[in-house]
């Protein structure tokens, strides 16, 4: 794995022009986005399969002795079934859903789901046991 030399704030992980912060405190979706904004980023916006694979590999390793889900910055709270990224307000193009996990009414926020090998699942935005995963993107 080759990471470009990206200047990231202390505690952030650099990969391919972005910086990532893996939170420690579970929160609901809005709190998680607030946490990321306070640190100068936004909940993660996954552009490509390569980025998705990198993150899943990383959090799998983090989880060998622990078990959490991780928020993505992706929600269909406005129009059911139309998932948009919170940082750009644009529709998702690359999608990493686990099979059957993207169209649940009343589950409008997306998370890397531990029991689905960190494929994406839609979950209730109010769930407060999910960890913020933040990104600062230069692209
Ligand atoms: Ca990204
Ligand atoms: Ca939904």
How far does residue 16's CA lie from ligand 2's centre (Å)? 30
pLDDT (0 to 100) of residue 103:
80
Q: Tell me, letter by letter, the H, E, C secondary structure of the chain.
A: CCCCCCCCCCCCEEECCEEEEECCCCECHHHHHHHHHHCCCEECCCCCHHHHHHHHHHHHHHHHHCCCEEEEEEECCCCCCCCEECCCCCECCCCCECCCCCCCCCCCEEEECHHHCCCEEEECCCCCCEECEEEEECC
How far does residue 18's CA lie from ligand 1's centre (Å)? 7
pLDDT (0 to 100) of residue 1:
44
Q: 85 to each of 1, 2, 44, 128, how far by Cα in Å?
A: 26, 26, 9, 20
Which ligand is in closest contact with the Cα of 137?
1
Which ligand is in closest contact with the Cα of 82?
2
How far does residue 11's CA lie from ligand 2's centre (Å)? 33
> Which residue in this structure is represented by tokens 């109010």?
126
How far does residue 23's CA lie from ligand 1's centre (Å)? 17
pLDDT (0 to 100) of residue 57:
95
pLDDT (0 to 100) of residue 7:
87
How many whole angstroms separate alpha carbon 83 and alpha carbon 75?
A: 5
How far does residue 102's CA lie from ligand 2's centre (Å)? 7
Which ligand is in closest contact with the Cα of 73?
1
How far does residue 45's CA lie from ligand 2's centre (Å)? 18
Which ligand is in closest contact with the Cα of 77?
2
pLDDT (0 to 100) of residue 29:
98
pLDDT in single tens digits along all 139 residues of the chain: 444 556 899 999 999 999 999 999 999 999 999 999 999 999 999 999 999 999 999 999 887 656 799 999 999 999 998 999 999 999 999 999 999 888 888 899 999 999 999 999 999 999 999 999 999 987 5
pLDDT (0 to 100) of residue 66:
66
Task: Say what the pTM is.
Answer: 0.91
Q: 132 to each of 78, 93, 128, how far by Cα in Å?
A: 21, 22, 10
Which ligand is in closest contact with the Cα of 16?
1
């Amino acid at each position: 794995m080759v990471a470009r030399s990206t200047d990231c704030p202390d505690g952030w992980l650099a990969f391919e022009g972005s910086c990532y912060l893996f939170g420690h405190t579970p929160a609901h979706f809005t709190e998680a986005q607030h946490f990321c904004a306070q640190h100068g980023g936004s909940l993660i916006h996954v552009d490509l399969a390569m980025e998705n694979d990198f993150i899943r590999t990383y959090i799998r390793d983090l989880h060998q002795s622990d078990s959490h889900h991780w928020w993505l910055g992706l929600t269909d709270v406005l129009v059911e079934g139309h998932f948009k990224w919170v940082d750009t307000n644009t529709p998702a193009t690359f999608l990493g859903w686990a099979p059957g996990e993207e169209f649940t009414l009343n589950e409008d926020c997306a998370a890397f789901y531990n029991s689905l090998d960190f494929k994406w699942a839609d979950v209730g935005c109010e769930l407060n046991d999910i960890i913020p995963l933040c990104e600062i993107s230069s692209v």
